[in-house]
Amino acid sequence: MYSWIPFWPDTAASSGHAVNTLFAAELALSAVIMLTVVVMMLHFASRYRKGSDASRADRVQKTWHFEIAWTAATLGMFLILFVYGAQIYVWLFRAPRGDEEVYVVGKQWMWKVEHPGGQREINAMHVPIDKTIRVVMASEDVIHSFFIPAFRLKHDVVPGTYETIWFKADRPGVYRLECTQYCGLQHATMQGKVVVMSGPDYARWLTTQGVHESMAEQGEKLFRAHGCSGCHGDNSTVHAPSLNGVYGTFVHLQDGSVRLADEAYLRDCILNPRSFTVAGYPPIMPDFSGQISESDLLKIVAYIQSLSGKQETRR
């Protein structure tokens, strides 16, 4: 729709179309306001220039009528824009349950992408068209910002937590993937591509990656290697909460609060268990902060997700 405009980037996702319409509306509105100011200024400047004989009588003395009028007009217009923008924002940043998940780790200066089936890529992300894709993101060092211009979608990736965004691509093609938060020396080169493929193409691509283990299977090994299964395993005698079916439920904590067991919560529990003791359990879990890399952590989280049957484990 906007492709004839030289400064309009590609649009290839539902989020992109939503933002396009809003941006075009604001652009038109800005043009009208700018033009009003310019025309008024030029008109007054020529009509009331020093040498002109235009009448200066009956200058407006009471100004507050005018001021109230344009305060009200501006405020009304702003409120409409605010609501419009906020609606899309809430829709963009509240990730629904996805058809697929993709895990992204940002580090100086690359994007590491991992698919649930265990397929790994660097500075590239292959995704199928017309599916709701959830992207779970972590940073290994500084703050990065994950940006796909064609989707009009961006979110910072802050170390110490997970950020989850989603999109639904609707046009096959290759699009830019960027980091838009300055992250050190080679920030400018922390770029890659997003490849949007048709369903069959994507399925074919997944099988050609030569992968033998899904993320959840790798996560299960790590789960044993770090000793998690000793307490959280099915045969354990230690009094620890079972992780079967916990993902996506609400968990009651010792301090009385209730948390949704999403990816970020699982991560927090592993790294800083004392702050997230589940109600009715003793605070005996050691903390794993600094002992597990971000990509291993994502695998363990993928394994715990798989225990709820919410996670397909494709190869």
C-beta of 154 vs 259, nearer to another protein: 154
Q: Which is nearer to another protein, 109 or 223 (CB)?
A: 109
- Choose between 191 and 229: whose C-beta lies nearer to another protein: 191
| Closest separation in Å from C-beta 141 to another protein | 6
Structure tokens at 3: 């492709």
Smallest separation (angstroms) from another protein to the CB of 37: 5
CB of residue 117 to another protein, shortest distance in Å: 28
What's the min distance (Å) between Cβ of 204 and another protein?
29
Q: Give Cα 252 to chain centroid, integer Å.
A: 27
- State the minimum distance, in angstroms, from the CB of residue 201 to another protein: 25
CA distances from 199 to 115, 215, 232, 249 (A): 15, 21, 37, 30
Contacts of 273 (CB under 8 A, 6+ apart): 283, 285, 286, 287
Question: Which residue's entry shows tokens 């906020």?
Answer: 86
CB-nearer residue toward another protein: 63 or 237 = 63
Minimum distance of another protein from residue 113's CB (angstroms): 19
String of DSSP letters for 138-188: EESSS-EEEEEGGGTEEEEE-TTS-EEEEE-B-S-EEEEEEE-S--STTGG
Rank residues 182 and 236 by Cβ distance to another protein and give the closer one: 182
For the packed helices 64-93 and 14-47, what is the interaxial angle rounded to 10 degrees? 160
Query: In this complex, which beta carbon is closest to another protein, that of residue 159 or of residue 233?
Result: 159
Are the C-beta atoms of 165 and 11 separated by less than 8 Å?
A: no
- CB-count burial class (<10 Å; 0-12, 13-18, 19+) for 99: middle
